[in-house]
Amino acid sequence: MASRRQALLLSSSNCHGYNLLEFAKAEISSFLQRNNVKDLIFIPYAQNDFDGYTTKIKNVIDQWGFTVTGLHTYPKPETAISESKAIFIGGGNTFLLLKRLYKNNLVQLMKSKIDDGSLIYIGSSAGTNVATKSIHTTNDMPIIYPPSFEAIGIVPFNINPHYIDKVENEEHKGETRDQRIAEYLEMQHAAPVLGLKEGAILHVDGSKLILKGVNGAVLFSRSQKKSEYNVGADLSFLLNEI
Amino acid sequence: MASRRQALLLSSSNCHGYNLLEFAKAEISSFLQRNNVKDLIFIPYAQNDFDGYTTKIKNVIDQWGFTVTGLHTYPKPETAISESKAIFIGGGNTFLLLKRLYKNNLVQLMKSKIDDGSLIYIGSSAGTNVATKSIHTTNDMPIIYPPSFEAIGIVPFNINPHYIDKVENEEHKGETRDQRIAEYLEMQHAAPVLGLKEGAILHVDGSKLILKGVNGAVLFSRSQKKSEYNVGADLSFLLNEI
Ligand SMILES: [Ca+2]
Ligand SMILES: [Ca+2]
């Protein structure tokens, strides 16, 4: 059966020139409304201050007419996710986030529920990394060892959030973002990498993938040079090619 | 028994204003001469073109009066390391490098030989990351899953190579290097992090640690704000504190 997945994958929650999540307000609101969702569970695992982080997100999204609750306030995370219709996983550190998702037995549970259409997903930054095939192309430092780099796998490719093609400093010899991604693409197991610029949103709707938000994306693959995509681009081919 | 470790840990092989490894020529040459070493095994595991990478390094270091051979040209890496007196591990991708070191059973072997003084170590960039306690503070993307983030452990703390405190771009909301290191320091298992600026060399000599090269370092720890150290600084306290 075809996947009934529904997701909004944000490059980040912050975008230059906007308040927190403001650039994504229309997309998130209509995504939740279309799916008849009023209540959203926020998963603050990518950071350590669960209460503070949840409050920051709640203060924004509740004003849009929804009700945000932190997953950490439920006695059993597994049960809470089983019974919820929508989740938002925020950014922070991808390794820490994935470690905690595995520890709480949420990775496979989320994948099944998303595939059968009973759970819709919003992710930002690290929350977008863990939505993809694997976390191989996170920008974060590996501050804790997760049981695997494989992730929820809503889409069968990788995403690099906060994508930027500038070099840090012309006199600095550290690798650029493109060089880091090229290192990944040399691996036999490498999937294509979609670099989401800040402000970009990938809308996953069953077998359709559309680029939304206020900024575009860049696609890297083993066989081709990088290609640029603007807001509105149809990237559905990425769901079939692999 | 006190460790008889001898190592030169370079932030990188390239430094602005110098040809490859040129900034480290005097240190590497005298390090090898003091230890009566003429032959050096180069370990190109952090990159994929073993021959090309080894040739690049050999072309530089052989001119200084030593003989470089690639580890990949030996039939058994374990035997080659067992019988060698000096190794140089070059940069590339830290995850790929550590994965290959574990696969070839070299991590524990190197540690024992370095501790008993029968092997001296030169590392650069990724080769410096794997020399420390763990690879938690590499800048590289996690392109392949290693069996552990724990590494050779010549020193009981972490290093961040290519350390730079500039932000990538003022309009970009991605994390700065200092923020990434701060995320690590929030972990219970975090060790201090020495950020080696490009051109910096950490000289490990038994119970002594001296900063050498042409650029300094920055120390981050859980209890203190960051502190700057110039070339010549004695960092031996980092071997005791932990
Ligand atoms: Ca992050
Ligand atoms: Ca590298």
Of the candidates B144, B169, B183, which has its C-beta nearest A187's C-beta? B144
Tell me the ligand closest to B160's alpha carbon: 2
Annotated catalytic sites of B, by residue?
A: 125, 140, 162
Does A140 qualify as catalytic in the annotation?
Answer: yes
> Dihedral, CA atoms, B184, B190, B195, B196, nearest 10 degrees?
-130
Collect all residues of chain A within an 8 Å Cβ-Cβ radius of residue B147: none
8 Å CB contact of A141 and B137: yes
pLDDT range class, residue B240, cuts 50, 70, 90:
confident
Give B165's pLDDT tier (boundaries 50, 70, 90). confident
User: Using an 8 Å Cβ cutoff, are B205 and B173 in contact?
Assistant: no
Separation between Cα atoms, residue B152 and residue B134, nearest integer Å: 8
Distances (CA, A) of A187 to A221, A222, B29, B48: 11, 9, 35, 9
B224 domain-assigned: no
Query: What pLDDT does residue A2 have?
Result: 87
Neighboring chain B residues of A175 at a CB cutoff of 8 Å: 139-140
Is residue A39 included in any domain, yes or no?
Answer: yes
Tell me, in angstroms, the distance from the centre of ligand 2 to residue A101's CA. Answer: 28
Question: CA angle, corner B216, sides to B189 and B133, nearest 5?
Answer: 25
Is there a domain that residue B80 lies in?
Answer: yes
Distance CA B107, CA B99 (A): 10
DSSP state of A83: H
Residue A1 inside a domain? The answer is no
Convert the pLDDT of each residue in B115-137 to its tens digit: 999 999 999 999 999 999 999 99
CB A42 within 8 Å of CB A55: no
Contact criterion met (CB < 8 Å) for B144 and A180:
no
What is the pLDDT, as a whole number, of residue B175? Answer: 81
> d(Cα A202, Cα A118) in Å, to the nearest integer?
20
Asked if A144's CB is within 8 angstroms of B187's CB, the reply is: yes
CB B177 within 8 A of CB B163: yes
Distance, CA of B143 to CA of B122 (rounded, Å) = 24
Which amino acid, B231? Answer: V
pLDDT band at B73 (very low <50, low <70, confident <90, very high): very high
Tell me which residues have their CB within 5 A of the ion that is ligand 1. Answer: A 140
Q: Which residues have CB under 8 Å from B68's CB, separation 6+?
A: B40, B41, B42, B54, B57, B58, B61, B62, B88
> A118 to chain B, minimum CA–CA distance in Å?
31
ipTM of the complex: 0.95
Cα separation of A191 and A170, whole Å? 30
Q: Considering only CB atoms, which residues of chain B are within 8 Å of chain A?
A: 12, 14-16, 48, 92-93, 95-96, 135-145, 148-149, 162, 164, 166, 168-169, 171-175, 180-181, 183-184, 186-187, 189-190, 198
Instruction: Tell me the C-alpha to C-alpha distance, in Å, between residue A107 and each of A99, B65, B149, B209.
Output: 10, 55, 22, 44
With tokens 């696969």, the residue in question is B103
What pLDDT is stored for residue B5 in this prediction? Answer: 97
Give the number of residues written for chain B: 242
- Encoding tokens for residue A159? 């995403």
From the CA of A126, the nearest ligand is 1
pLDDT classification of B2: cutoffs 50, 70, 90: confident
Domain of B75, CATH number, reads 3.40.50.880
Domains of chain A: total: 1
Kindly state the average pLDDT of the residues A134-158.
Answer: 98
Say if residue A156 is exposed, middle or buried (CB neighbours under 10 Å; 0-12, 13-18, 19+): middle
Whole-number pLDDT of residue B230: 98
Closest CA to A204 of A155, A167, A241: A155
Lowest-pLDDT range of A13-22, A32-41, A47-56: A13-22
The answer to the question of residue B43 being in a domain is: yes
Assigned domain for B192 exists: no
What phi and psi values does residue B192 have, to the nearest 5 degrees?
-60, 155
| Residue A176, pLDDT score | 87
For residue B162, the ligand closest to its alpha carbon is: 2
Tell whether the model's pLDDT for residue A84 goes beyond 80. yes
Q: Which of A84, A125, A134, A221 is catalytic?
A: A125
Indicate yes or no: CB of A143 within 8 angstroms of CB of B169.
no
Any domain includes A195: yes
Residue of A nearest to B168 (CA): A168
Cα angle value A149/A167/A95 (rounded, 5°): 20
Domain range for residue A185?
Answer: 6-239
Cα A92 to ligand 1 centroid, rounded to whole Å = 4
Q: Is the pLDDT of residue A67 over 90?
A: yes
**CA-atom Rg of chain B in angstroms:** 17
Rounded (10°) angle between helices A107-115 and A94-103 = 90
